[in-house]
Amino acid sequence: MRVLGIDPGTATTGYGIIDGHEGQVTTVTYGAIQTSSKLEMPERLAQIYAELSELIKAYRPDAAAIEELFFGRNVTTAITVGQARGVLILALTHAGIPIAEYKPAVIKQTIAGYGQADKAQMQLMVRHLLDLEETPRPDDAADGLAIAITHYQYQQYQALM
């Protein structure tokens, strides 16, 4: 099963693609879609949509997982991230890819065994689980991989039920 994990954002959208087979996961690719703050929001959203669509065509994931929006104190940030999530979900839906959504605490619990794990703990576990020599950069790419692994693990669990 090939899984695309997405950490949404307007400036940086992290992604990670893994292959999972018989409980083992391997890295296919990871990176980030980065947009310039000099662009107007509609142009940034169009760029995110176009670049994700190209990734989908190139790597053909079987499933996708995206981090659920966490509402913090900064409402403006939450709204813009919500807009990015919308175009990401639209691109996935247009490609016919099933989408799962996971809360940050669920991702942390699945990857690090602790729902309050910090970024360093998460990155260490992503490196360990995928047998990577270096921590994926930018941080958003490591988050995308963590989201993909989480979805694969949940699918494995569902298969046992």
Give catalytic residue positions: 7, 67, 140
Exposed, middle or buried, 66 (CB in 10 Å: 0-12/13-18/19+)?
Answer: buried
Contacts of 51 (CB under 8 A, 6+ apart): 33
Contacts of 148 (CB under 8 A, 6+ apart): 3, 4, 5, 16, 17, 18, 65
Select from 19, 82, 95, 83 the least CA-distant residue to 52.
95
